[in-house]
Amino acid sequence: MASSQGYKVRPWPSRTDSGDIFRIFLSPSNLVLHKLTAGNVCNIETPAGLMKPAVIWPAAEKIKEDIVQTSKALQKLYGLELGCKVLLSQTKHQIQDANDVGLCEIFEDGSDVSLSPLDEKGRFHWSWLLEYAVEQAEVLSPCMMLDNYECKGEKRAFKVQEINSSADSLLYRAHKGCKVNIVENFMKTAHPGDNPKCELLIPSEGVGGLDRQIKQLNDIIAMYSPSYDSTSNVPAFFQPRQGGILLYGARGTGKSTLLRKVSEAGWQKVFHIDHATTTSRAGDSEAIITSIFSDALRYQPSVVIIDTLESIANKQESPSFGKGFCIGQILSRQLERLENTCTLAIGACRSLTDIYQDLRGVGRFELEVEIPIPDSMSRAEILKVLSGIPKNSIQSTLDGIAMRTHGFVGADLRKLLGQAVKIRAIRDRVADSDHMGMNNVLPGVLLDDMKEDFEGALLRVRPTAMQEVFVETPNVRWSDIGGQHGVKEELEEAVIWPIKYPEAMERHGLKPKKGLLLYGPPGCSKTMAAKAAATESGLNFLTVRGPELMSMYVGESERAIREVFSKARAVSPSIIFFDEIDAIGATGDNGQHGGVHTVTTLLTELDGFQELKDVFVLAATNKPERLDLALIRAGRLDTTLYVGLPDTAARREIFTMRMRNMYLSDGVDVVALSEATEGFSGAEITNICQKASYVALREEMDMKEHQRVSEEHFRIALTRVEKSITPEMIRRYEAWGAGRH
């Protein structure tokens, strides 16, 4: 039997003797159709994808073909909600006889105030009383609830803690003579091997790029399993189950996916707290949250999941709506109740600084797990999972796309794949209306033929990590810069080689440089050289102008610097380019007010690069003598590169490049112009070309006929552009450079 369309869950009025807890009722016609016999065991596939056992039974009344009826107890046990859809499938499991059953008492929040824990005599008495209840239950299973039993005016609730049998199974039946014992709660007396059916494990199937995080979470969640021995090989003071877990990372990195996987780990019950829970009136929100945690403590092992924590308890939250109301405070108090229990709280947020900070205290969200922007290997895994192929397989198209999608998160890659498929579908429809379609082609073969479609998709999808960061995409090539061949080679070695030739550098024992300072007179292509390095290497490029940072309020400059480095890590491999770095990196004597603090922040971030990968710092200045020498020491901006005035050959290259787009007459002598512009910068040569064009255009307007730019126009332009760089300035740069070596 298998159901592809799914059955909608509806309620069944349960008996008072627990006799039908595990029954799942179908229409008699369905039993006939699938050749089922009443009492057979089947599997229920829950909306969370978990396979749970149940007993097939015909419905007493006529019900629709797409309906199954279940008891309220089974709905609680398997986390089913009325109206949700489940799938049914056959299983080889059979109901086995239980030799003895261990029950543990459970408490709702506050109930232990009025009820004393059972002593030895009380446990014996309740064991005798519950023998009948266990025998009357048609089926038993670990974690099954036996609640609302009354004796001498006391109402107590119990849970099936352990079942011993000669045969292993998921469901058991108590026969005459089956022993029933009241045992201590597993949170205090669990031993290895107890209750193996409740082992907790986060499945990693269907998730790419997060294996390390899943392993880290599984190591923690294992401590919440009933079989975990909390007294084995640990000091007496160690409390394994203390504090929750907080996932943090940029939008689209997979936090919600990971939370969904946590919910599928095999908990007895899963609880959710979201923004809707906390938008009620003050008292209502507090009561709802408290009730959720109380229920979670009752149905251990359980988990409380809080997604987008910053929308529920943000850092700016303060008591409102009445005395003492603050969601962050309420959550803090509730988290403290979970200490040394088998209820885990796990939350997710984008930034640790955005949430109510007391939630990060001891006994609250103690473990913080970063979900980073995926690297190229993780991106390849994600693309393969989304494409339905094994994530450890080799797929040249997806591996190549992964190398080019810096800053893309899982959500971006899903969008990219979708766009590529749409482009391919349109291309197939236009090319051949009788095309056999993508459904009939193996994924690997199809992807090999979709390189052109991915190229189109890359133009349409902007990565999330760059939507919240000003990341420039330079369009400057080495060929756009006249001369400066030595500067180009140095930048190529420092920026491009570590990305394109890492194996060769490692073979020669070379480590990537951390940073490089370009210095020299203005207008000599320092900024263009930095942009060209980014373009040629394919790295993301973050530009920071020093004077703009120093114009901020006190403290904001330091915050902005830290944020720039944080963003560079998020979209790595990347280049941070500090233009006019002397504005923020000057010595105390030369710096502006607050300059000391910005230098300290820069040094802190630069020193932190020992732990970073694929982030390179470029800086440029016209005033190197103003810089704090600490910035240019080893491990920081320790490579300095002089970008000087262009020589004759370089000036000739600059004139030639600028003249390509000019309305030029024949006979303009480029060699003569390059010799006549000794001491001019590249920017001034560009200005001369523009001035010459304006002179020609003015003549055209006066004479009412087209005028090409001639040598005469260049001579006039030369008289209108003055050299701004003096020999004294050049000597000062050379002296500073000589003092560095």
Q: Is the pLDDT of residue 439 over 70?
A: no
- The CATH architecture annotation of domain 207-222+240-370 reads 3-Layer(aba) Sandwich (3.40)
Give the 3-state secondary structure of residue 521: coil
Separation between Cα atoms, residue 498 and residue 267, nearest integer Å:
47
Lowest mean pLDDT among 376-380, 448-452, 490-494: 448-452
State CA 183 to chain mean position distance: 43
Q: What pLDDT is recorded for position 113?
A: 41
Q: How confident is the model at residue 495 (pLDDT cuts 50, 70, 90)?
A: confident
Q: Is the pLDDT of residue 190 over 50?
A: no
Two tokens, residue 543: 């530009």
This prediction's pTM? 0.52
Taking the CB of residue 234, how many other CB atoms lie within 10 A of it?
A: 11
First to last CA, the chain: 81
Edge-to-edge strand list for the sheet holding 96-106? 145-151, 154-164, 96-106, 172-183
Which pairing describes strands 302-306 and 343-349: parallel, antiparallel, or unpaired? parallel
Separation between Cα atoms, residue 571 and residue 409, nearest integer Å:
10
pLDDT digit string, tens, across residues 223-273? 888 766 555 555 555 555 567 899 998 888 899 999 988 988 888 888 998
Q: What pLDDT is recorded for position 697?
A: 94
Q: CB of 592 within 8 A of CB of 586?
A: yes
From residue 528, how far is each of 48, 480, 516 by CA, in Å? 54, 9, 15
Peptide bond into 301 cis (omega under 30): yes
pLDDT digit string, tens, across residues 298-343? 888 889 999 989 888 887 665 544 444 588 888 988 888 888 888 9
DSSP, res 709: B
Which CATH fold would you assign to the domain 96-184?
Vcp-like ATPase; Chain A, domain 2 (3.10.330)
Q: What is the mean pLDDT of residues 4-30?
A: 80
Two tokens, residue 629: 């020498």
Separation between Cα atoms, residue 278 and residue 294, nearest integer Å:
17
Name the residue ranges covered by the structural domains of the chain.
7-90, 96-184, 207-222+240-370, 376-467, 478-642, 648-723
Q: Is the pLDDT of residue 66 over 50?
A: yes
Q: Is the pLDDT of residue 10 over 50?
A: yes
| Nearest CA among 245, 260, 138, 248 for reference residue 204 | 260
Q: What pLDDT is recorded for position 637?
A: 84
Q: How confident is the model at residue 191 (pLDDT cuts 50, 70, 90)?
A: very low
Q: What pLDDT is recorded for position 340?
A: 80
Give the 3-state secondary structure of residue 160: strand
- List of residues 6+ apart from 147 with CB closer than 8 A: 106, 157, 158
Q: Is the pLDDT of residue 37 over 50?
A: yes
Q: Which residues pair with 272 in a beta bridge?
A: 305
Structure-token match 């004294």, residue found: 728
The domain made up of 478-642 is a member of CATH 3.10.180.10: no
Query: Would you say the CATH fold of 648-723 matches that of 376-467?
Result: yes
Which CATH fold would you assign to the domain 376-467?
Helicase, Ruva Protein; domain 3 (1.10.8)
Structure-token match 């790419």, residue found: 208
Two tokens, residue 415: 């969008």
- List of residues 6+ apart from 401 with CB closer than 8 A: 379, 383, 416, 454, 458
- Cα radius of gyration rounded to whole Å, the chain: 36
Q: What is the mean pLDDT of residues 589-613?
A: 65
Edge-to-edge strand list for the sheet holding 302-306? 269-273, 302-306, 343-349, 244-248, 365-370
- Containing 575, the helix (H) or strand (E) segment is strand 574-579
More confident residue, 33 or 220: 220
Separation between Cα atoms, residue 646 and residue 483, nearest integer Å:
7
Which pairing describes strands 269-273 and 302-306: parallel, antiparallel, or unpaired? parallel
Which CATH fold would you assign to the domain 648-723?
Helicase, Ruva Protein; domain 3 (1.10.8)
Q: What pLDDT is recorded for position 251?
A: 86
Please, what CATH class does the domain formed by 7-90 belong to?
Answer: mainly beta
Q: Is the pLDDT of residue 639 over 50?
A: yes
